[in-house]
Structure 1
């Protein structure tokens, strides 16, 4: 239970930090529902990282489960908060950017855990 809470809070921290960078870079305004969405997404993504503690599952499958669940969570929050239009080009570009950021953070955690 403690690990679940810790990973959720860590996910909220990462999602909030990344969002602050995007807000500052794009001079955006956000509302209360946006903040709740960011926290929800971060908590889900953080919670999904518990999959790495299951030794029976190979690492590539763990990564896929975490990434897929995080993308679904992101798209759900983006849809509910109307961050993205339901058009192919913006959705695909947003998913690509999301996956790149996700993989960078994942690689940093992997390197940190190896050391």
Structure 2
């Protein structure tokens, strides 16, 4: 299961990179701008994700820090790109959408890591 998820994520990353590169070369100015903004957003979220390996904080604390940084990055990049009007109802809708996607991805990673730890503990005879 872990390998399938890893392969899906790698495939999504490769296809996104192909889109970014081809969009930056062959598309109009609007697509170029959005390609750059998507790349910036991915880099910012990647930086925020580094909290998981860099500290000895509790998982909840790390998750809140990573979510907050990713969410603020999303809002910043969305504002720069004019991806949606910054009105309260729309921001709330986009925020709910972001949170649901984030939680789904977080849950997948949590499940995979938990299973990996259980298998490791089983091999070590701790369960």
Which range, TM-score by smaller chain? 0.7 to 0.9
Compute the TM-score of the two structures, normalised by the length of structure 2. Answer: 0.66
**Which structure is higher in RCO with an 8 Å CA cutoff and minimum separation 6?**
1
Of structures 1 and 2, the larger Rg is shown by: 2
Contact 1:48-1:66 at 8 Å conserved across structures: yes
Compute the TM-score of the two structures, normalised by the length of structure 1. Answer: 0.72
Partner SS state of residue 85, structure 2: coil
**Residue ranges of structure 2 left out of the alignment (5+ in a row):** 1-9, 18-29, 116-127
Cα RMSD, aligned residues only = 2.2
**Residue ranges of structure 1 left out of the alignment (5+ in a row):** 1-9, 18-29
Aligned residues: 92
Per-residue deviation, residues 10-45 of structure 1 (Å, max 9, x unmatched):
7x939x49xxxxxxxxxxxx6111011111111111
2:88 maps to 88
